[in-house]
Amino acid sequence: MKARHFVLALRDYYLDTTSDTQGTGTSTISSSLNPDAWAIKYIDVAWIQPILEAFDDDASGFINIAEVNRFTSSRPADWRFVLRHSI
């Protein structure tokens, strides 16, 4: 997929998983739902270039599954990687 779209989709995913919708219809970032909520401020257009460079090994402008797998497997051993999926 296009690298820019990937970053924006990643942001949307983390916003969905870290948001706590109030009865007023407003949404706030809740660290009680997700301890990684602090990271959402770094997954946005201001940080898009460094994120793209981290994932897009061949600088093609596209990110494929192999590049995502390389990125996630290169994390330090004491860092966790959890994707939460809700149906």
The pLDDT tens digits of the residues spanning 35-74 come to 777 788 888 888 989 999 999 999 999 999 999 999 888 8
pLDDT at 85 over 70: no
Contact 25, 17 (CB under 8 A): no
Distance of CA 22 to the CA centre of its chain: 23
| Domain residue limits at 63 | 3-73
Residue 24 counted as domain residue: yes
Contact 34, 18 (CB under 8 A): yes
pLDDT at position 31, please? Answer: 57
pLDDT at position 50, please? Answer: 92
Residue 84 counted as domain residue: no
pLDDT at position 58, please? Answer: 92
Question: What are the structure tokens assigned to 6, written together?
Answer: 């990937």
pLDDT at position 10, please? Answer: 87
Q: How many domains, the chain? A: 1
Residue 78 counted as domain residue: no
Put residue 61 in one of left, alpha, beta given phi > 0 → left and psi -120 to 50 → alpha.
Answer: left
Residue 86 counted as domain residue: no
